[in-house]
Amino acid sequence: MNTKEMKEIYDRYVIPNYIRNPILLVKGSGADIWDAEGKRYLDLFSGWAVSLLGHCHPNVVAAIQNQAAKLQHAPNIYYTEPQGLLAKHISEKSFGGQCFFCNSGAEANEAAIKLARIHNSDKGRYKIVTFLNSFHGRTLATVTATAQPKYHKGFAPLVEGFSYVPFNDLEALRKSVDDKTCAILLEPIQGEGGINIATKEFMQGIRKLCDEKGLLMILDEVQCGMGRSGKYFAYQHYDIEPDIMTLAKALGGGVALGAMTARKEIAKSLVPGSHASTFGGNPLACAAGVAVFETIEKEGLLSHVTTMGGYAADQLKALQKTRKIIHDVRGVGLMIGIELAVNGAEFIKRCIQAGLFLNCTHEKVIRFMPPLNVKKEHIDEGLNIINTVLSKL
Protein backbone atom coordinates (compact mmCIF):
# COMPACT_ATOMS: atom_id res chain seq x y z
CA MET A 1 0.00 0.00 0.00
CA ASN A 2 1.42 3.41 -0.92
CA THR A 3 1.12 6.79 0.80
CA LYS A 4 -1.79 7.96 -1.39
CA GLU A 5 -3.83 4.83 -0.71
CA MET A 6 -3.25 5.00 3.05
CA LYS A 7 -4.08 8.71 3.15
CA GLU A 8 -7.45 7.92 1.60
CA ILE A 9 -8.12 5.37 4.38
CA TYR A 10 -7.15 7.89 7.04
CA ASP A 11 -9.31 10.59 5.47
CA ARG A 12 -12.29 8.25 5.71
CA TYR A 13 -11.73 6.42 9.02
CA VAL A 14 -9.36 8.36 11.32
CA ILE A 15 -10.38 11.47 13.31
CA PRO A 16 -8.37 14.40 11.88
CA ASN A 17 -7.10 15.80 15.20
CA TYR A 18 -3.49 15.84 13.93
CA ILE A 19 -1.91 17.81 11.10
CA ARG A 20 -0.19 14.94 9.27
CA ASN A 21 2.64 15.14 6.76
CA PRO A 22 1.88 13.11 3.59
CA ILE A 23 4.43 10.41 4.47
CA LEU A 24 3.64 6.75 5.20
CA LEU A 25 6.32 5.48 7.58
CA VAL A 26 6.98 1.75 7.37
CA LYS A 27 10.26 0.87 9.12
CA GLY A 28 13.08 2.28 11.21
CA SER A 29 16.58 1.39 12.39
CA GLY A 30 18.68 3.53 14.70
CA ALA A 31 18.44 7.17 13.66
CA ASP A 32 17.01 6.22 10.24
CA ILE A 33 13.41 5.80 9.22
CA TRP A 34 11.92 4.96 5.79
CA ASP A 35 8.64 5.67 4.04
CA ALA A 36 6.55 3.37 1.85
CA GLU A 37 8.23 4.70 -1.30
CA GLY A 38 11.67 3.78 0.04
CA LYS A 39 12.87 7.28 0.96
CA ARG A 40 15.17 7.39 3.98
CA TYR A 41 14.90 10.15 6.62
CA LEU A 42 17.35 11.04 9.38
CA ASP A 43 15.35 11.24 12.61
CA LEU A 44 16.89 13.78 14.99
CA PHE A 45 13.61 14.38 16.82
CA SER A 46 12.95 10.81 17.98
CA GLY A 47 9.18 11.19 17.93
CA TRP A 48 8.89 13.67 20.79
CA ALA A 49 11.90 12.01 22.47
CA VAL A 50 10.23 8.59 22.57
CA SER A 51 12.73 6.60 20.48
CA LEU A 52 15.47 7.04 23.08
CA LEU A 53 17.72 4.30 21.69
CA GLY A 54 16.81 4.93 18.06
CA HIS A 55 14.27 2.92 16.14
CA CYS A 56 14.04 -0.82 16.88
CA HIS A 57 17.14 -1.16 19.07
CA PRO A 58 17.96 -4.91 19.01
CA ASN A 59 17.94 -5.15 22.83
CA VAL A 60 14.43 -3.69 23.05
CA VAL A 61 13.22 -5.82 20.13
CA ALA A 62 14.59 -8.99 21.77
CA ALA A 63 13.05 -8.12 25.14
CA ILE A 64 9.63 -7.56 23.55
CA GLN A 65 9.85 -10.73 21.44
CA ASN A 66 10.90 -12.85 24.41
CA GLN A 67 8.23 -11.46 26.70
CA ALA A 68 5.51 -11.65 24.02
CA ALA A 69 6.09 -15.39 23.77
CA LYS A 70 5.81 -15.85 27.55
CA LEU A 71 3.17 -13.49 28.99
CA GLN A 72 1.74 -10.33 27.40
CA HIS A 73 -0.79 -9.20 30.00
CA ALA A 74 -1.50 -9.89 33.64
CA PRO A 75 -3.91 -8.09 35.99
CA ASN A 76 -2.30 -5.86 38.58
CA ILE A 77 -3.69 -8.06 41.36
CA TYR A 78 -0.78 -10.43 40.64
CA TYR A 79 3.01 -10.03 40.51
CA THR A 80 5.09 -10.02 37.31
CA GLU A 81 8.86 -10.01 37.06
CA PRO A 82 9.25 -7.21 34.44
CA GLN A 83 7.19 -4.71 36.48
CA GLY A 84 9.12 -5.41 39.68
CA LEU A 85 12.49 -5.17 37.95
CA LEU A 86 11.58 -1.94 36.18
CA ALA A 87 10.43 -0.36 39.45
CA LYS A 88 13.78 -1.39 40.97
CA HIS A 89 15.68 0.30 38.13
CA ILE A 90 13.69 3.56 38.46
CA SER A 91 13.94 3.65 42.24
CA GLU A 92 17.65 2.85 42.44
CA LYS A 93 18.55 5.33 39.67
CA SER A 94 16.53 8.13 41.29
CA PHE A 95 15.61 8.84 44.92
CA GLY A 96 14.53 5.46 46.27
CA GLY A 97 10.78 5.87 45.83
CA GLN A 98 8.01 3.45 44.94
CA CYS A 99 6.42 3.28 41.46
CA PHE A 100 2.97 3.29 39.93
CA PHE A 101 2.83 2.28 36.27
CA CYS A 102 0.56 3.57 33.52
CA ASN A 103 0.70 4.08 29.76
CA SER A 104 1.60 7.72 29.07
CA GLY A 105 2.93 10.97 30.46
CA ALA A 106 -0.55 12.40 30.87
CA GLU A 107 -1.58 9.39 32.94
CA ALA A 108 1.60 9.65 35.02
CA ASN A 109 0.93 13.34 35.75
CA GLU A 110 -2.74 12.60 36.45
CA ALA A 111 -1.59 10.04 39.02
CA ALA A 112 0.81 12.57 40.56
CA ILE A 113 -1.96 15.17 40.87
CA LYS A 114 -4.27 12.62 42.51
CA LEU A 115 -1.54 11.46 44.88
CA ALA A 116 -0.72 15.05 45.91
CA ARG A 117 -4.38 15.71 46.66
CA ILE A 118 -5.19 12.50 48.49
CA HIS A 119 -1.99 12.81 50.55
CA ASN A 120 -3.15 16.26 51.70
CA SER A 121 -6.90 15.59 51.82
CA ASP A 122 -7.06 15.49 55.62
CA LYS A 123 -5.55 19.00 55.73
CA GLY A 124 -7.99 20.45 53.19
CA ARG A 125 -5.16 21.27 50.79
CA TYR A 126 -5.79 20.72 47.08
CA LYS A 127 -4.29 23.59 45.06
CA ILE A 128 -1.36 23.00 42.70
CA VAL A 129 0.90 25.67 41.22
CA THR A 130 2.32 25.17 37.71
CA PHE A 131 4.30 27.43 35.36
CA LEU A 132 3.65 29.42 32.20
CA ASN A 133 4.55 27.55 29.01
CA SER A 134 4.47 24.21 30.79
CA PHE A 135 3.01 21.08 29.23
CA HIS A 136 1.73 18.21 31.36
CA GLY A 137 -0.68 16.30 29.13
CA ARG A 138 -4.14 16.35 27.58
CA THR A 139 -6.46 14.71 30.11
CA LEU A 140 -8.77 17.25 31.69
CA ALA A 141 -6.67 17.63 34.85
CA THR A 142 -3.30 17.65 33.10
CA VAL A 143 -4.44 20.08 30.41
CA THR A 144 -5.60 22.34 33.25
CA ALA A 145 -2.15 21.98 34.80
CA THR A 146 -0.67 22.94 31.43
CA ALA A 147 -0.34 26.72 31.73
CA GLN A 148 -1.06 27.55 28.10
CA PRO A 149 -4.53 29.01 27.32
CA LYS A 150 -4.44 27.69 23.74
CA TYR A 151 -4.81 24.14 25.08
CA HIS A 152 -7.75 25.11 27.34
CA LYS A 153 -9.92 26.54 24.57
CA GLY A 154 -13.26 24.75 24.30
CA PHE A 155 -12.82 22.53 27.35
CA ALA A 156 -14.31 24.69 30.09
CA PRO A 157 -15.05 24.25 32.90
CA LEU A 158 -11.53 23.17 33.76
CA VAL A 159 -10.50 21.36 36.95
CA GLU A 160 -10.56 23.59 40.01
CA GLY A 161 -7.45 24.37 42.04
CA PHE A 162 -4.66 25.21 39.57
CA SER A 163 -2.76 28.50 39.38
CA TYR A 164 0.07 29.59 37.10
CA VAL A 165 3.17 31.72 37.59
CA PRO A 166 6.12 32.68 35.34
CA PHE A 167 8.87 30.06 34.98
CA ASN A 168 12.08 30.81 36.92
CA ASP A 169 10.27 33.48 38.99
CA LEU A 170 10.67 32.39 42.61
CA GLU A 171 9.11 35.53 44.07
CA ALA A 172 5.93 35.12 42.00
CA LEU A 173 5.79 31.50 43.13
CA ARG A 174 6.06 32.47 46.80
CA LYS A 175 3.16 34.91 46.40
CA SER A 176 0.96 32.28 44.72
CA VAL A 177 1.19 29.77 47.58
CA ASP A 178 -1.56 29.87 50.22
CA ASP A 179 -2.87 27.62 52.99
CA LYS A 180 -4.78 25.48 50.43
CA THR A 181 -1.73 24.75 48.27
CA CYS A 182 -0.55 21.13 48.36
CA ALA A 183 2.04 20.91 45.56
CA ILE A 184 4.23 22.61 42.97
CA LEU A 185 4.46 20.85 39.59
CA LEU A 186 7.09 21.66 36.96
CA GLU A 187 9.38 20.35 34.23
CA PRO A 188 13.08 21.00 35.02
CA ILE A 189 13.45 21.60 31.27
CA GLN A 190 10.27 22.70 29.54
CA GLY A 191 10.05 20.78 26.27
CA GLU A 192 6.89 21.76 24.45
CA GLY A 193 7.24 25.21 26.02
CA GLY A 194 10.37 25.92 23.96
CA ILE A 195 13.33 24.19 25.70
CA ASN A 196 13.32 26.50 28.71
CA ILE A 197 15.80 25.47 31.41
CA ALA A 198 15.12 25.97 35.11
CA THR A 199 17.91 27.79 36.91
CA LYS A 200 19.66 26.14 39.84
CA GLU A 201 18.54 28.97 42.14
CA PHE A 202 14.93 28.41 41.06
CA MET A 203 14.96 24.64 41.58
CA GLN A 204 16.69 24.86 44.94
CA GLY A 205 14.36 27.70 45.93
CA ILE A 206 11.34 25.54 45.15
CA ARG A 207 12.75 22.69 47.23
CA LYS A 208 13.30 25.06 50.14
CA LEU A 209 9.82 26.57 49.78
CA CYS A 210 8.23 23.10 49.72
CA ASP A 211 10.11 22.12 52.86
CA GLU A 212 9.08 25.35 54.64
CA LYS A 213 5.41 25.13 53.70
CA GLY A 214 4.92 21.35 53.75
CA LEU A 215 4.29 21.20 49.98
CA LEU A 216 5.08 18.41 47.57
CA MET A 217 7.61 19.06 44.80
CA ILE A 218 6.45 17.18 41.69
CA LEU A 219 8.82 16.98 38.74
CA ASP A 220 7.51 16.13 35.29
CA GLU A 221 10.42 14.38 33.56
CA VAL A 222 8.27 12.87 30.85
CA GLN A 223 10.37 14.49 28.12
CA CYS A 224 13.63 15.48 29.83
CA GLY A 225 14.16 12.29 31.86
CA MET A 226 15.72 8.90 31.06
CA GLY A 227 19.21 10.16 30.25
CA ARG A 228 18.33 12.86 27.74
CA SER A 229 20.09 15.54 29.82
CA GLY A 230 23.25 13.45 30.32
CA LYS A 231 22.10 12.27 33.74
CA TYR A 232 19.36 9.72 34.30
CA PHE A 233 17.01 12.46 35.45
CA ALA A 234 17.26 16.20 34.87
CA TYR A 235 16.73 17.04 38.56
CA GLN A 236 20.13 15.42 39.24
CA HIS A 237 21.78 18.53 37.76
CA TYR A 238 20.37 20.64 40.61
CA ASP A 239 21.51 18.92 43.85
CA ILE A 240 17.91 18.44 44.99
CA GLU A 241 15.42 15.58 45.09
CA PRO A 242 11.70 15.80 44.34
CA ASP A 243 8.91 14.16 46.32
CA ILE A 244 7.19 12.80 43.22
CA MET A 245 8.50 12.34 39.66
CA THR A 246 6.74 11.32 36.46
CA LEU A 247 8.19 9.49 33.46
CA ALA A 248 6.93 8.26 30.07
CA LYS A 249 7.93 8.82 26.42
CA ALA A 250 11.44 7.27 26.37
CA LEU A 251 10.79 4.90 29.29
CA GLY A 252 9.64 2.08 27.01
CA GLY A 253 12.10 2.76 24.19
CA GLY A 254 9.17 3.15 21.76
CA VAL A 255 6.54 1.15 23.64
CA ALA A 256 3.68 2.94 25.45
CA LEU A 257 4.76 3.10 29.10
CA GLY A 258 4.45 5.68 31.86
CA ALA A 259 5.40 5.75 35.54
CA MET A 260 5.08 7.86 38.64
CA THR A 261 7.54 7.38 41.48
CA ALA A 262 7.09 8.89 44.93
CA ARG A 263 8.82 8.88 48.28
CA LYS A 264 7.55 5.91 50.29
CA GLU A 265 5.88 7.97 53.01
CA ILE A 266 3.87 9.79 50.33
CA ALA A 267 3.26 6.79 48.05
CA LYS A 268 1.43 4.95 50.83
CA SER A 269 -1.45 7.43 50.53
CA LEU A 270 -2.41 5.76 47.25
CA VAL A 271 -4.23 2.91 48.94
CA PRO A 272 -5.91 0.00 47.08
CA GLY A 273 -8.93 1.20 45.16
CA SER A 274 -7.84 4.86 45.05
CA HIS A 275 -6.14 4.66 41.64
CA ALA A 276 -5.39 2.02 39.00
CA SER A 277 -4.60 1.28 35.35
CA THR A 278 -5.69 -1.90 33.56
CA PHE A 279 -2.74 -1.92 31.16
CA GLY A 280 -0.32 -0.01 33.41
CA GLY A 281 2.83 -1.97 34.12
CA ASN A 282 1.95 -4.77 31.71
CA PRO A 283 4.79 -7.29 31.26
CA LEU A 284 5.37 -6.47 27.59
CA ALA A 285 5.94 -2.75 28.14
CA CYS A 286 7.92 -3.25 31.34
CA ALA A 287 10.24 -5.78 29.66
CA ALA A 288 11.00 -3.07 27.10
CA GLY A 289 11.62 -0.58 29.94
CA VAL A 290 14.06 -2.92 31.65
CA ALA A 291 15.91 -3.34 28.34
CA VAL A 292 16.16 0.45 28.03
CA PHE A 293 17.82 0.81 31.43
CA GLU A 294 20.17 -2.12 30.78
CA THR A 295 21.17 -0.69 27.40
CA ILE A 296 21.88 2.76 28.82
CA GLU A 297 24.27 1.07 31.26
CA LYS A 298 25.89 -1.38 28.82
CA GLU A 299 26.50 1.23 26.13
CA GLY A 300 27.62 4.01 28.50
CA LEU A 301 25.03 6.35 27.03
CA LEU A 302 24.95 8.99 29.77
CA SER A 303 28.52 10.09 29.09
CA HIS A 304 27.89 9.71 25.35
CA VAL A 305 24.95 12.14 25.63
CA THR A 306 27.15 14.70 27.35
CA THR A 307 29.79 14.36 24.63
CA MET A 308 27.41 14.40 21.66
CA GLY A 309 25.21 17.09 23.23
CA GLY A 310 28.23 19.32 23.74
CA TYR A 311 29.39 18.71 20.17
CA ALA A 312 25.95 19.45 18.69
CA ALA A 313 25.50 22.59 20.77
CA ASP A 314 28.96 23.89 19.82
CA GLN A 315 28.30 23.28 16.13
CA LEU A 316 24.88 24.95 16.30
CA LYS A 317 26.32 27.98 18.10
CA ALA A 318 29.02 28.22 15.44
CA LEU A 319 26.28 28.08 12.81
CA GLN A 320 24.43 30.85 14.66
CA LYS A 321 27.37 33.19 13.99
CA THR A 322 26.94 32.79 10.23
CA ARG A 323 23.14 32.43 10.08
CA LYS A 324 21.56 35.46 11.73
CA ILE A 325 18.17 33.81 11.41
CA ILE A 326 19.19 31.72 14.44
CA HIS A 327 18.25 33.82 17.45
CA ASP A 328 19.38 31.44 20.21
CA VAL A 329 20.70 27.95 20.88
CA ARG A 330 20.02 26.45 24.31
CA GLY A 331 19.66 23.08 25.96
CA VAL A 332 21.11 20.38 28.17
CA GLY A 333 22.60 17.16 26.83
CA LEU A 334 20.69 16.06 23.75
CA MET A 335 17.66 18.23 24.45
CA ILE A 336 18.48 21.31 22.40
CA GLY A 337 16.33 24.20 21.23
CA ILE A 338 17.23 26.29 18.18
CA GLU A 339 15.20 29.49 18.37
CA LEU A 340 14.72 31.15 15.00
CA ALA A 341 13.99 34.80 14.34
CA VAL A 342 11.06 33.73 12.12
CA ASN A 343 8.22 31.21 12.25
CA GLY A 344 9.74 27.73 11.93
CA ALA A 345 6.95 25.99 10.03
CA GLU A 346 8.51 26.51 6.59
CA PHE A 347 11.93 25.47 7.93
CA ILE A 348 10.53 22.17 9.22
CA LYS A 349 8.67 21.55 5.97
CA ARG A 350 11.87 22.00 3.94
CA CYS A 351 13.92 19.85 6.37
CA ILE A 352 11.46 16.99 5.92
CA GLN A 353 11.64 17.40 2.15
CA ALA A 354 15.43 17.21 2.48
CA GLY A 355 15.19 14.02 4.55
CA LEU A 356 15.51 15.32 8.11
CA PHE A 357 12.97 14.99 10.93
CA LEU A 358 12.93 17.83 13.47
CA ASN A 359 10.07 19.65 15.19
CA CYS A 360 9.05 23.23 15.80
CA THR A 361 7.34 24.31 19.02
CA HIS A 362 6.12 27.73 20.15
CA GLU A 363 6.27 28.89 16.52
CA LYS A 364 10.01 29.57 16.47
CA VAL A 365 11.85 26.95 18.55
CA ILE A 366 13.25 23.94 16.68
CA ARG A 367 13.57 20.88 18.88
CA PHE A 368 16.78 18.90 18.25
CA MET A 369 16.43 15.66 20.25
CA PRO A 370 18.25 12.76 18.55
CA PRO A 371 18.46 9.28 20.09
CA LEU A 372 20.95 8.97 22.96
CA ASN A 373 23.19 6.68 20.88
CA VAL A 374 23.37 9.12 17.97
CA LYS A 375 26.67 9.11 16.09
CA LYS A 376 28.76 12.14 15.21
CA GLU A 377 28.17 11.53 11.51
CA HIS A 378 24.40 11.70 12.08
CA ILE A 379 24.75 15.06 13.81
CA ASP A 380 27.00 16.33 11.01
CA GLU A 381 24.54 15.14 8.37
CA GLY A 382 21.68 16.87 10.18
CA LEU A 383 23.65 20.09 10.61
CA ASN A 384 24.48 20.14 6.89
CA ILE A 385 20.78 19.89 6.04
CA ILE A 386 19.90 22.57 8.61
CA ASN A 387 22.55 24.89 7.18
CA THR A 388 21.40 24.31 3.61
CA VAL A 389 17.74 24.88 4.45
CA LEU A 390 18.52 28.03 6.46
CA SER A 391 20.56 29.41 3.56
CA LYS A 392 17.46 29.30 1.36
CA LEU A 393 14.94 30.84 3.76
Which residue, 244, 277, 299, sits at the end of a domain? 299
Q: What are the pLDDT digits (tens) for 234-255?
A: 999 999 999 999 999 999 999 9
pLDDT in tens, 349-363: 999 999 999 999 999
Please report the pLDDT score of residue 355 as a whole number.
98
Distance, CA of 234 to CA of 91 (rounded, Å): 15
Structural domain of 9: 3-57+300-391
Same domain, 277 and 134: yes
Among the three residues 299, 325, 353, which one is the final residue of a domain in this structure? 299
Same domain, 327 and 380: yes
pTM: 0.97
Last residue of a domain, one of 267, 299, 331: 299
Same domain, 123 and 245: yes
- Binding-site positions for N(2)-acetyl-L-ornithine read 138, 277
- How does pLDDT run across 21-62, given as a tens digit for each residue? 999 999 999 999 999 999 999 999 999 999 999 999 999 999
Report the 3 state secondary structure along the chain: CCHHHHHHHHHHHCCCCCCCCCCCEEEEEECEEEECCCCEEEECCHHHHCCCCCECCHHHHHHHHHHHCCCCCCCCCCCCHHHHHHHHHHHHHCCCCEEEEECCHHHHHHHHHHHHHHHCHHHCCCEEEEEECCCCCCCHHHHHHCECHHHCCCCCCCCCCEEEECCCCHHHHHHHCCCCEEEEEECCEECCCCCEECCHHHHHHHHHHHHHHCCEEEEECCCCCCCCCCCCCHHHHCCCCCCEEEECHHHHCCCCCEEEEECHHHHCCCCCCCCCCCCCCCHHHHHHHHHHHHHHHHCCHHHHHHHHHHHHHHHHHHHHHHCCCEEEEEEECCEEEEEECCCCHHHHHHHHHCCEECEEECCCEEEECCCCCCCHHHHHHHHHHHHHHHHCC
Annotated binding site: 105-106, 135, 138, 220-223, 277-278
Predicted confidence at residue 76, as pLDDT, reads: 97
Number of domains in the chain: 2
Report the pLDDT value the prediction gives residue 236, as an integer from 0 to 100: 98
> What integer is the mean pLDDT of 343-352?
98
Whether 238 and 372 share a structural domain: no
Q: Tell me, yes or no, whether 157 and 217 share the same domain.
A: yes
371: domain CATH number is 3.90.1150.10
Q: Of 30, 9, 33, whose CA–CA distance to 20 is shortest?
A: 9
194, 261: one domain: yes
301 CB neighbour count, 10 Å cutoff: 23
Q: How much of the chain, in percent, has pLDDT values that exceed 90?
A: 100
Q: What is the pLDDT at residue 252?
A: 98
The arithmetic mean of pLDDT across residues 181-185, rounded, is: 98
Across the range 104-112, mean pLDDT stands at: 98
**323 shares a domain with 291:** no
> Is 292 found in the same domain as 311?
no
Q: What is the pLDDT of residues 269-286, one digit of tens each?
A: 999 999 999 999 999 999
Q: Are residues 269 and 324 in the same domain?
A: no
As a whole number of angstroms, the distance between CA 191 and CA 333 comes to: 13
267 shares its domain with 383:
no
Q: Report the CATH number that the domain containing residue 163 is assigned in CATH.
A: 3.40.640.10
| Mean pLDDT on 117-132 | 98
pLDDT of residue 320: 97
Q: What is the greatest pairwise CA distance in the chain?
A: 61
| 258 lies in the same domain as 289 | yes
pLDDT of residue 335: 98
pLDDT at 389: 98
Instruction: Determine contact, residues 77/144, Cβ cutoff 8 Å.
Output: no
Check if the beta carbon of residue 235 is closer than 8 Å to that of residue 222: no
Residue list, annotated binding site for pyridoxal 5'-phosphate: 105-106, 135, 220-223, 278
Percent of the chain with pLDDT over 70: 100
Going by their DSSP bridges, the two strands 189-190 and 196-197 should be labelled as antiparallel
Q: Do 16 and 106 belong together in one domain?
A: no
Give residues with Cβ within 8 angstroms of 301, minimum separation 6.
Answer: 53, 227, 295, 372, 373
Give me the pLDDT at residue 126, please: 98
